Structure formats: structure tokens, C-alpha cells
Chain A
Amino acid sequence: MGLDTRRVETGVDVSPSSSESWVTTRLDFLVNWGRANSLWPMPFGTACCAIEFMATAASKFDLARFGMERMSFSPRQADVLICAGRVPFKLAPVIRRIWQQMPQPKWSIAMGACASSGNGIFDNYAVVQGIDTIIPVDVYVPGCPPRPEGLMYGIMMLQEKVKKERMADKSLRNEMEPDPSSQLYIPPQLIDELSENFGNSVHQTRSGL
């Protein structure tokens, strides 16, 4: 096969003699290798981060090197949702619906400070304080907006994450709403109370007069 006969770190074994054409590997490795190198992004650009995202996809930075040149403007054919920009409350059910429409396996990247945490300056009545309050997020890219290198670094981190997944672990693909009757469910009032002193992006309780 023209490959070296050494054992490759990533888990591919090739035949000892180059005249035989077979290769052994783990299925996990093969599947994850394929998935990580053909992530199709669903761009959800709402603000200036989307401009940087376009720059990342354009020729100078060339997102195609990561197998992501195919922007999927339909969530049905997308693998990774890249939320670039702030999300107002009115858009919250929309991004939630897009996430629900994406088939498994799927990942998401919160690009920039607004999508990650609300960015402080948008700590007001209209803006969601981080999209992790609506959908699960795999990689947070800091910056306001991040440079294309930053986004590419985030994408490479996501690829690392994808390569470490195991098919046997079904819990990765579980989509679960906390059942109000279960132990997992915490009432919103209790979350407010618990998180009051921390002021993190997930539970802002300073909304009162």
C-alpha cells in the first residue's frame, strides 16, 4: 500500500509486507477519523463574529483544509452548529429548533464572547447570556470577535474531541430534557438561589429591580 510498516500511533496496522494490500484498524478510529475530517458546519451568524467566520472560510485562511468547505445551510445535512454572534431572546427558540433538526452525530461551537457568555456589555433584557443555556456546547472560542486563527484552533479542538469518542458510549448521543419528576430536574427558582453568588453566564439572577 505504499505505507510504512511501522505501527502508526493512531491505531492503523498495515501489512508487514508491502505486496499484500490489507490494513487493520479499530472501527472507532476509522469512523472518528472520517467524521473529524468532514465536519459540515451550519453557520448561524448573527453579528460581527460571522464576518470573521466568513474570513475563515475564504481563501486566505481556507476552512476547506479541515474538510469544512461545504457550508450546510440546511440543518438536516449539518454536523456542527457554529453560533457566531449574540443571540437575542427572540432568536432563542429558533436556534433551539435548528439544533433539534440537526441529525446525530452533531456538535456545536460557541464562537466569540457573546455566544459563549453574553459578553457583559449585552447583559440586558433582550440577549441570551450564552447559548449554553439553550443548547449543549462542545467548544467555546473566546474573543470579540475571535480571529480566524482562533476559530480554527477551536475547530481543531473539536476534531480532537471527535477523535476521542467511542461508539460504545451511547450516552454521547442521548438527547434528554430533564424530566420535572426526576432527580435530575432542578426548579429554576432553586437554580437562581444556588447560583446567586457566582454570577456565571448560565444563571443570572440580577434581573430584579
Chain B
Amino acid sequence: MSEAFLPVLAGHAEASEVAPPSTPRNVPYRGGAANPSADALRAQFGDAIHRVDVVWAETTVYVDRARVAEIVRWLHDDPQQRYDYCSDITAVEFRDLDRPIEVVWHLRSLPFRRFIRLKALLPKGQPLVVPSVYDIYRGADWLERECYDMFGIRFEGHPDLRRLLMWEQYKEGYPLRKDFPLRGRFSRSEQLRQILAQNPEAKYSMEELTVLEAFNDLPGDMRQRLGKGEQVGE
């Protein structure tokens, strides 16, 4: 993290004759033009790409759940794709008991102005495990922790997969699953008794809150600027 910070200009990798973005009109519900990355994915990974859906001009690619990390790594690194921003990781569970749980990755390529949605299907009754993309996007850290907290999906390779929204000793299960009752599994008095027994200070480590240590992780030019002391006021 020592090189200078370079701003990414949206669309700068596209050919120069491409028109600037405008609001799309007359977009078909299904069957619009797919994101060019979908064909590239098929060519690169073949069987690992199960299906490509285009809904309202947004491309959804159903991929093999065991090869997600590999596919995302390729999308991130390939000079013709450059998906450099992971905007969301979440999951969907359906009321239908036979329908598998879907894990969803929203990836965006700023240089090519592209958006792609990856989905992996996790059948019910099997362990809910998918590979983590933490190594590729550091921003996936809390997204995967939230997904684990709410759905119980384990991201293999995540260095610190703890609950994020609920407290760590939460015993009632995974709140966004369909079999979870709206008011929780325990009575209100039991919920209150358990939470009041928590120690609020125990949730923070002082290392996470140390500003001085974070200083060394800043980009070089910012460190140099801040090292001189910022000028305040006139």
C-alpha cells in the first residue's frame, strides 16, 4: 500500500468512439443484449457457467459454487474485464422448500462501465459453503460476515468469519432464514436476560481503534501530506 493513489476514471478503458452513458430506453424485460463478460466467461470456464439470464438489461450468470473464487479472481484480474469493485454480497432464500438458496455477488467494472451479477445455488439439506472472495476484495470482509450472520452461509477462506449485526453469542439461529420466526426463538424476557448479560466493552479490541497503526496503511502520498501536519484555517 505504498504506491500513490490513482483515481479510476469510469469508462476510460473503453474504445474512444463509445458514446458517454445515457439513460437506456425501451429496455426489454428479458432477452436484451447480455454483458460481453458473459460470453467471455463461457469461453474461459465452459462447464462452470450454468446459465446466463438477462433481465431488464442486467446480466445474471449462474456459476458453479465450488469455482466462484476462481471466476471472480479472473473477472478481477483479466485486462479485458477489470471488475474492480464488489458492491454487494448477499443471499436469497425462497419460500419454496425445493428451491435452493442463492448466494449473489454484485460486481462492477469501473473502467468498462459494466455490471455483472453472479449467482451460486446451494441446495437445501447440504452444508451451505461457498468460497470466500476476501483475498480479491477486502471490502468483502463485512459483506460475507453479514451474510453468514443472517443466513448461516459459511465462506471458506474468510479469515475472521464472526457474526456482524447480531452479537457474537447469539444463540437463536440465522434471522433471515425462512424457518426463523419473526420474533426470534426465545421469549422476550429470555432475550433481554441474555443481552443484558453482555459486556459492551468486550466487543471492541483496542487494536481496531488505534489510529496510529492505521496511519502506516495509508497511501504514500497521503502519509507524506499528513506527516507534515495539516494546515487548519487561514
Contact = CB atoms under 8 A, between A and B. Distances in A.
Please provide the 4 A-B residue pairs with the shortest distance between their CB atoms, ordered closest to farther. Answer: A125-B184, A188-B189, A207-B183, A204-B188
Interface of A: 89-90, 92-94, 96-97, 123-126, 128-129, 133-134, 188-189, 191-192, 203-209
Counting contact residues on chain B (CB < 8 A from A), the size range is 20 to 34
Interface in B40-77: none
A125 B189 contact: no
A120 to B, nearest CB: 12
Given A124-B183, A207-B183, A209-B181, A129 B198 contact: no
Contacts of A89: 167, 191-192, 195
A90 B167 contact: yes
B9 interface: no
Given A93-B199, A207-B188, A125 B193 contact: no
Contacts, number: 71
B188 A92 contact: no
Contacts of A188: 187, 189-190, 193
B3 to A, nearest CB: 39
A67 B126 CA distance: 62
A108 B29 CA distance: 54
Interface of B is mostly: loop
B47 to A, nearest CB: 41
Given A125-B172, A204-B188, A205-B188, A96 B196 contact: yes
Interface of B: 165-167, 172, 175, 180-193, 195-196, 198-200
Contacts of A191: 189
B191 A93 contact: no
Contact of A207 (B165, B167, B181): B181
Contacts of B199: 93
A97 B181 contact: no
A94 B183 CA distance: 22
A207 B183 CA distance: 5
